[in-house]
């Protein structure tokens, strides 16, 4: 907490008030002044806590609004016959994630190792509130946990049994993600930059808002889910080139992207957690403080996303010969995923470089995915996993010395970006982070998806996939269609009774 109570000592005031006479009256006056001073100082301290917690709550609400963006983006990116399924998975990610993060996840993320990571946090938050650990902090961390789960759901869309969503979402938010966030964000995490001693490569990992902790975790989990499930029916069955199974609503994709953009201003700037903190040496006279860093972080976030969007626009025009709004939206999000690691410690001009490279990273991974016949309906593994990894490398290259010192303890000798003259220690720590995240998520989530596959709980039957998950698993289609539209564009499978058969044919919807 930035605020601190300033003390007042009556004995220091008595000589100033007495003037050599009436010492008793001077002592009484000094005592009265100090009492009033302590009251006013305490009010300022209370105001500081209120400001910081209100800021964190507002940031949590912004990040939670990203769930609406995820829902719209996912719904628009799948075919109409799977709309209700993907929307329901987004609701479950938030609901199951909320419960399991409360029961288990928060304890693993921020519990003390001396208490086996659990301590007083297990099945509740009995030591809340306290000056550095209040309820808004839990809410904010929960929104990050469910964001990681939402990323994974996009990779395995249109072919996954609903029970598998329930299992993986609970496991990811209750164990896999919290362990990673403890490593890199908790004050006693082995690679955290907030440690008081024994910093990894004398720097720790600067993954400010989670290019690795959130985006890589969700992306690598989705990678294993999609690999083990295999591609959707029809995706790679043509010999000439992969068939693009287009989503049914570019409108929803664009609206969802804008909502995610809006929420990212809580995701990145909100990760400061507090805003009422001055970087100046003269209290009351400094206009430069954490509020300035929050603004700069919002600017770097914006520039990286905008640059990635424009780079993708012209890059795809050169590659494919047309302007594609869906690709531009994904490019924009790729820029955001990349800048999330270093958003607080880089200059705005560096964010432009981050977004430019992120766009090509995404386009390159998408080409590789087609070559390897890897099917991810929302490009989530490529976008969040690939661009997230680039963002971690980018921070190790471009982190600014001044910003690193201000945000991480004030040590002017702390390692910073390689290209900024800070040596290779920070970059080395970030390479370790990438390796560790890939390994941990592969072992945990890869094993989980493999077990679900062997138990035949992962992928839906082929006839249900062809007919669509909405009519076969969720009671009917999300939209109303005329009989002619059904015949020409969508398959419908009756559920129950004598109508348990397939009508129509596979179409674009």
**What is each CA distance from 140 to 47, 70, 392, 488, in whole angstroms?**
20, 17, 22, 46
pLDDT (0 to 100) of residue 495: 41
φ and ψ of 493, to 5 deg = -110, 120
pLDDT (0 to 100) of residue 152: 95
Q: What is the pTM of this model?
A: 0.87
Nearest CA-CA partner of 437 in 218, 228, 212: 212
Mean pLDDT of residues grouped by 10 in the chain (509 residues)? Answer: 52 55 61 65 76 95 96 94 94 92 91 50 58 86 96 94 95 96 94 91 95 98 97 85 89 97 97 88 72 96 98 94 94 98 97 98 96 94 97 98 90 92 96 98 98 96 92 86 56 42 38
**Beta bridge partner(s), residue 493:** 502
Nearest CA-CA partner of 402 in 392, 389, 411: 411
pLDDT (0 to 100) of residue 45: 77
Structural domains in the chain, CATH included, are: 42-240+253-278+293-467 (1.10.3430.10)
In whole angstroms, give the CA distance from residue 281 to residue 279: 7
Element of type H or E holding 401: helix 401-407
Positive or negative torsion for Cα 133, 270, 154, 191 = negative
Instruction: Give the side-chain half-sphere CA count within 13 A for 413.
Output: 2
pLDDT (0 to 100) of residue 119: 44
Nearest CA-CA partner of 491 in 480, 503, 479: 503
């Amino acid at each position: 907490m930035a605020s601190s109570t300033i003390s007042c000592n009556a004995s220091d005031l008595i000589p100033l008030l007495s003037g050599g006479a009436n010492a008793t009256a001077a002592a009484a006056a000094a005592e009265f002044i100090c009492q009033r001073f302590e009251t006013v100082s305490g009010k300022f301290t209370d105001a500081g806590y209120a400001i910081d917690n209100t800021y964190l709550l507002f940031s949590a609400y912004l990040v939670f609004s990203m769930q609406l963006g995820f829902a719209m983006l996912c719904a628009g990116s799948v075919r109409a016959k799977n709309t209700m399924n993907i929307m329901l998975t987004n609701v479950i990610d938030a609901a199951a994630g909320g419960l399991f993060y409360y029961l288990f996840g928060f304890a693993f993320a921020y519990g003390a190792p001396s208490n086996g990571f659990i301590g007083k946090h297990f099945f509740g938050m009995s030591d809340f509130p306290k000056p550095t650990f209040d309820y808004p902090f839990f809410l904010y961390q929960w929104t990050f946990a469910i964001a990681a789960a939402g990323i994974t759901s996009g990779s395995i869309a249109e072919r996954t049994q609903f029970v598998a969503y329930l299992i993986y979402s609970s496991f990811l938010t209750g164990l896999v993600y919290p362990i990673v966030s403890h490593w890199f964000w908790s004050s006693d995490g082995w690679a955290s930059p907030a440690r008081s001693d024994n910093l990894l490569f004398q720097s720790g990992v600067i993954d400010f808002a989670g290019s690795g902790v959130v985006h890589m975790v969700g992306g690598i989990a989705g990678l294993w889910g999609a690999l083990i499930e295999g591609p959707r029916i029809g995706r790679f069955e043509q010999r000439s080139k992969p068939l693009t199974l287009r989503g049914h609503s570019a409108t929803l994709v664009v609206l969802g992207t804008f909502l995610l953009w809006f929420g990212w201003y809580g995701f990145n700037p909100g990760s400061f957690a507090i805003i009422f903190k001055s970087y100046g040496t003269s209290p009351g006279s400094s206009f430069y403080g954490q509020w300035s860093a929050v603004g700069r972080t919002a600017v770097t976030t914006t520039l990286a996303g905008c640059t990635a969007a424009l780079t993708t626009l012209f890059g795809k025009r050169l590659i494919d010969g047309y302007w594609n709004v869906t690709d531009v939206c994904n490019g924009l999000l790729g820029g955001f995923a990349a800048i999330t690691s270093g958003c607080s410690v880089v200059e705005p001009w560096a964010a432009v470089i981050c977004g430019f490279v992120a766009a090509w990273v995404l386009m390159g991974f998408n080409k590789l995915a087609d070559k390897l016949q890897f099917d991810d309906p929302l490009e989530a593994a490529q976008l969040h996993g690939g661009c997230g990894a680039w963002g971690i490398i980018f921070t190790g290259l471009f982190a600014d010395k001044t910003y690193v010192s201000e945000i991480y303890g004030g040590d002017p000798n702390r390692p910073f970006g390689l290209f900024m003259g800070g040596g290779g220690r920070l970059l080395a720590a970030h390479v370790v982070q990438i390796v560790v995240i890939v390994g941990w998520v592969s072992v945990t989530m890869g094993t989980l998806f493999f077990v679900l596959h062997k138990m035949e709980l992962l992928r839906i039957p082929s006839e249900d996939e062809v007919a669509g998950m909405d009519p076969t698993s969720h009671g009917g289609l999300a939209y109303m269609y005329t009989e002619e539209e059904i015949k020409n564009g969508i398959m419908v499978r009756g559920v129950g009774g004598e109508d348990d058969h397939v009508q129509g044919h596979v179409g674009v919807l």
